[in-house]
Structure 1
Amino acid sequence: MFIWDGISEFIAVVETGSFTAAGKRLGISTAQVSRQINSLETRLALKLFYRTTRRVTVTETGQLYYQQCKPLIEGLEEAELVISNLQATPRGKLKLTAPVTYGERAIAPAINRFCLQYPELEVELQLSNRKLDLVDENFDLAIRLGQLADSSMMAKKLHSRRQYVCAAPTYLNAKGAPHSLSELGQHNCLVGSVSHWRFAQTGKMRTIKVKGSLQCNSGKALLDAALLGIGIVQLPDYYVAEHLKQGTLVEVLRPFRQEDDGIWAVYPHNRHLSPKIRLLLEHLDHELNR
């Protein structure tokens, strides 16, 4: 009998709420998860879950057992990470996610150079504008832009990001430029996936709800609309910097611009001792700030 048998499967089912999701997290079949849980319940002579055709619910005894097992598993994971730190060369799989446009422009090239340095690593990079669940989907790290909301994760600031409110000269010649935040309501604002724009006013962050004739979850599409003179847009520097330099876009509301919106690496707390994560963070910090 192995005392650890079924524990990882048990914890995964509690945290994901289903045998299928637990199997996906662990990379094993649903049937194997079920067998391990049944064996664990037999060994303990306890019922850990209530099962129906629609859902799985942890029992009161199962919840107590989870609270005792969780720190033990985390301790075992950290012990393995400490030992893996002794390896001179990082190995195994590294899974991360980043937003699409910034990922294509900055993160993917940096990851490609990281792969050249450490050829024994197997790297999976998923570009998505959805905020994927790092724990449930077994990601080692995520690149997040702007204000962070998930305080349960560890975070390292990698670089600065500025948001510019700007418009084409043709729009400004026709409609005029706003000089205060209250004037935004008189303009056609090109709206992204979030309908609130962030500004700095008297040393504090302020959000303004905007609206206009176009809403799109693509920064590139909003940039194109702004260049055509359709309206005013708020976009990060990596979209608009060259256009501002060339004069095809003009910044407005400059006194209210936030100087630093932040680009972050976010990762689960049990990953912080991993040599793969440490080396990747050092690499990204160097690549994005050179």
Structure 2
Amino acid sequence: MTNLGDLEVFVKVVASGSMSEAGRLLGLSPAVVSKRIKRLEGRLEARLFQRTTRQISLTEVGRGFHDRMISALAGLEEAEAFVSGNAADMQGLIRITAPTSFGRMHIAPHLPRFLAEHSKISVELILTDQFIDLVADGYDLAIRIGELTDSSLVARRLAPVRRILCAAPNYLEARGIPTSIEHLDQHSCLPAHNSDPWRLVGPHGALTFRPEGRILTNSSEVVREAVLGGFGIALRSTWDIGEELRDGRLVQVLPDYEGSRNLALSAVYPSRKFLPSKIRGFIDYLVSVYGATPYWER
């Protein structure tokens, strides 16, 4: 019978992409990891990896073996959790990553109540706008905004994401209110991420508009401050500017046009059959906080 430790090493090597990184995550030397993989291959009488001096990749047999091992190991984790009582008792550390602005505005304020309700849980919240590999970096959960394309992950939709064109009243008083997309060429626009085009949906379907303005930045926070300061028109998510829309510091322009409707706020976690109760509990909590119509839309 194959050693279960060898199987865990195998899965970690696949997830991290290298034996040295897998060793670091498991607290083993690269030599020990390599020995474990060779022992597993000898036991199975099959080559699982193609090795070069620079990288390793799964063979066809290795890929099929990995797909089957993921569900098998998930079943073992669930069995252990059932015996230890963890399946019903939420406890332990939850490692979460989320976009910087959203995490600051709509996750951090809600953590105290969740932690007060679950005294045995602690949370590590890492805010970053960089892509994070959940498995390789050891995260339990990611909150992501956008179109999800990674089929190796499981996603649960938390809320819709609406993006609208908006501006400060003093800007519109000075420059006029645009009445068509073509009129935006006569306005100062505030592109995010160094002139990425705006993908919009209007009365006649999808269209792309490339905004031009005097501020170029890779920071969404800079764009937010600029539109509030009356420096132009921006395409912003309602979760980011809901309060400003309500109190009149910003107003919507060209209401017939919005950003792509394929975006969503989602909780993303590694693909496995049994989800730990602490992760499911936190996701359920966020769903209850945001509601069917998110509070920033009300």
TM bin, normalised by shorter chain, reads 0.7 to 0.9
Could you say which residue in structure 1 is the equivalent of 2:100? 100
Q: In the TM superposition, what whole-angstrom CA distance separates every residue of 1:44-99 from its partner, at most 9, and x where no partner exists?
A: 566554545433345x4xx4144225313422313422552553312333222111
Q: 5 Å matches for 1:250-265?
A: 250-257=251-258, 261-265=263-267
- CA pair 148-14 structure 1, distance change in 2 beyond 3 A: closer
Q: In structure 2, what residue type is equivalent to 1:72?
A: M
Could you say which residue in structure 1 is the equivalent of 2:89? 89
Contact 2:16 2:135 in 1 (8 A): no
Contact 1:189 1:231 in 2 (8 A): yes
1:17 aligns with 2:17: yes
Contact 1:219 1:239 in 2 (8 A): no
3-state secondary structure, aligned to 2:165? strand
- CA pair 211-122 structure 1, distance change in 2 beyond 3 A: same
Unaligned runs of 5+ in 1: none
- CA pair 44-214 structure 1, distance change in 2 beyond 3 A: same
- CA pair 76-54 structure 1, distance change in 2 beyond 3 A: closer
- Is the deviation greater in 48-57 or in 75-84? 48-57
Could you say which residue in structure 2 is the equivalent of 1:71? 68
Could you say which residue in structure 2 is the equivalent of 1:245? 246
- Is the deviation greater in 85-94 or in 140-149? 85-94
* Structure 1 residue 30 displacement after superposition: 3.1
Query: What is the rounded CA distance, in whole Å, between the counterparts of 2:202 and 2:49 in structure 1?
Result: 52
Contact 2:49 2:62 in 1 (8 A): no
Query: What is the rounded CA distance, in whole Å, between the counterparts of 1:139 and 1:227 in structure 2?
Result: 35
| RMSD, aligned α-carbons | 3.0
Q: In structure 1, what residue type is equivalent to 2:191?
A: V
Could you say which residue in structure 2 is the equivalent of 1:215? 216
* Structure 1 residue 101 displacement after superposition: 1.1
TM-score by length of 2: 0.81
Query: What is the rounded CA distance, in whole Å, between the counterparts of 1:66 and 1:151 in structure 2?
Result: 15
Q: 5 Å matches for 1:87-166?
A: 87-166=87-166
Contact 2:47 2:62 in 1 (8 A): no
The one of 286, 289, 296 equivalent to 1:287 is 289
1:229 aligns with 2:237: no
Query: What is the rounded CA distance, in whole Å, between the counterparts of 2:70 and 2:270 in structure 1?
Result: 14
Q: In structure 2, what residue type is equivalent to 1:158?
A: L
Unaligned runs of 5+ in 2: none
Query: What is the rounded CA distance, in whole Å, between the counterparts of 2:34 and 2:74 in structure 1?
Result: 23
Contact 1:11 1:66 in 2 (8 A): no
Q: In the TM superposition, what whole-angstrom CA distance separates every residue of 1:137-162 from its partner, at most 9, and x where no partner exists?
A: 23222111243333443222222333
Contact 1:94 1:276 in 2 (8 A): yes
TM-score by length of 1: 0.83
Could you say which residue in structure 1 is the equivalent of 2:203? 202
Query: What is the rounded CA distance, in whole Å, between the counterparts of 2:269 and 2:164 in structure 1?
Result: 28
3-state secondary structure, aligned to 1:183? helix
Contact 1:161 1:262 in 2 (8 A): yes
Could you say which residue in structure 1 is the equivalent of 2:184? 184
- CA pair 151-245 structure 1, distance change in 2 beyond 3 A: same
* Structure 1 residue 105 displacement after superposition: 1.4
Contact 1:6 1:37 in 2 (8 A): yes
Could you say which residue in structure 1 is the equivalent of 2:33? 33
1:55 aligns with 2:55: yes
Q: In the TM superposition, what whole-angstrom CA distance separates every residue of 1:91-136 from its partner, at most 9, and x where no partner exists?
A: 3332221111110111123233323332333432211112312233
Contact 1:7 1:69 in 2 (8 A): no
Query: What is the rounded CA distance, in whole Å, between the counterparts of 2:81 and 2:124 in structure 1?
Result: 20
Contact 2:165 2:257 in 1 (8 A): no
Paired residue total: 287
Q: In structure 1, what residue type is equivalent to 2:266?
A: W
Could you say which residue in structure 1 is the equivalent of 2:278? 276
Contact 1:199 1:206 in 2 (8 A): yes
Query: What is the rounded CA distance, in whole Å, between the counterparts of 2:190 and 2:115 in structure 1?
Result: 38
Q: In the TM superposition, what whole-angstrom CA distance separates every residue of 1:206-236 from its partner, at most 9, and x where no partner exists?
A: 4422222212233332122123332211112
* Structure 1 residue 177 displacement after superposition: 2.2
3-state secondary structure, aligned to 2:256? helix
Could you say which residue in structure 2 is the equivalent of 1:80? 77
